[in-house]
Structures are given as C-alpha cells and as structure tokens.
Amino acid sequence: MEPRSRDEDLRKQEPQWIQQALLGDTEAFVELIELYQRSVFNLCYRMLGTLEDAEDAAQETFLRAFHSLRQYDPARPFATWLLSIAAHYCIDQIRKRRMVIFSLEDLPEPEFASHDPPLETTVGIREDQQKIQQLLKTLSEVDRAVVVLYYWYDLSYEEIAKTLSLSVSAIKSRLHRARRALANSWLKRYPATFQEADRKGYESPVF
C-alpha cells in the first residue's frame, strides 16, 4: 500500500471500525471505505479497463465486504481481504462479459475505454497508462490479477496466492507466463521503438 502518514494514523482505528461495522454500523464501515477506496478502485480499474466498470466493481466489492464481514479473519490484513474480494469479483465479471460476447457472435469488441470521459481530465492518466491498459487487456483474467497485485501492490507471492486462492507455484508460473506475454504484446504493438534499443543491447550490460 502507499506509504502515507495520515493513513497510518487512521489505520490504528481500523480494528475498532471493523468491530462497529460488524454490529451493522455503516458509518464505521464508511471510514474503512475512505481508507481503502483507492486501493480497491485501482485494482478494479486495472482489471476491467474503464472508470465506469471500476466504479461499479469497487462499489460492489465494498457491499460484499460489508455483508460478509463476519468471515473476515483479523489475523490477515484487511486490505488484502478487500483486494481478494475485488479480484474475484473482477475475474467473474470478465468471464461473464466474455460469455456475453461469445453469445452475441462476431460483434466487434468495443474499443477500450472509448465511452469514458477523457482520462486526463479525470485522473491524470498519461499515454503510458493507456499503453499499460492495452497490454493488460491481452492477458487472461487471472494472469492480469497476478500482474496487477505484483506490480501495484507489492504483495509477496504468498500474499498474492492467498488473495487469489491459488498456490505459490501457480502464481510464479502465471507471473512468468504473463511477463512473456506482455513483452511479446509490447513488441507487436510498438515494433518501431526497438531499432534503437536493439543497437544499445550490444554496448550496455543487460542484466
């Protein structure tokens, strides 16, 4: 998670808020939402690719979390528990969407983020971010979740495995496969950029 001192202070009150939320106090749960909304939203955005879908998925994640708060194990960080709910929800959404697309036969897939407001004005996403979203889209839903949790959340293999209900070795092999796929899609999309890098490869140490 992002190191922010204000959040650190707030996090100390977390167990108390969870206790109150368990008794049905939505105000206490809202405090938890304030604390983790960015974390959950970012995961949903990276998984689903549009701000609209990310908003919906993040909202649903918090609804599900509130309803299943009794299943939360306090020994585990609350953040990763939330991320786990969000990741599973997004994976399900992608699978459902794919089924709809299959059933609609040959309907062209809508252009990525095409119906969103200009991204720069809302969240300040640079061109690189668009590139990343295009690349992530080429991965399978589970591989995408592994990559996002690894690169954006600095989670260990064990934590990612727990979050996605997979084994550590499965996470390692998925990450490996995803990286290869990402590099290959990058090559396919931006072949021109490598004439320069190609030459540099001779001179500079590469590892």
Which one of 68-76, 93-101, 119-127, 162-170 is the stretch in contact with other proteins (CB under 8 A)? 119-127
CA dihedral sign of residues 97, 131, 150, 59: negative
DSSP assignment, residue 68?
A: T
**Region from 6-14, 88-96, 107-115, 128-136 binding other proteins, contact rule CB under 8 A:** 128-136
Q: Rounded CA gap, 68 and 207, in Å?
A: 46
Binding to other proteins (CB under 8 A): which residues in 64-93? 66
Q: Please name which of 109, 137, 172 lies closest in space to residue 45, comparing C-alpha atoms.
A: 137
Token readout for 151 is 């690169």
From 55-63, 73-81, 90-98, 106-114, span contacting other proteins (CB under 8 A): 55-63
User: How far is residue 197's CA from residue 23's CA, in Å, rounded to a whole number?
Assistant: 59
- Considering beta carbons, is residue 23 or 75 the nearer one to other proteins? 23
Dist. CA 78–CA 80, nearest whole Å: 6
Least distance to other proteins, CB of residue 158, Å: 13
Among 17, 21, 45, 80, the residue binding other proteins under the rule CB under 8 A is 45
Which single residue is written with the structure tokens 């995803």? Answer: 178
> Scanning the structure block, which residue is given the tokens 């550590």?
168
- Which residues in this chain contact other proteins in the complex, by CB under 8 A? 2, 26, 30, 33-34, 37-39, 41-42, 45-46, 51, 54-55, 58-59, 62-63, 66, 122-123, 125, 128-129, 131-132, 135, 147, 151-152, 175-176, 179-180, 182-184, 186-187, 190, 193-194, 197-198, 200-202, 205-207
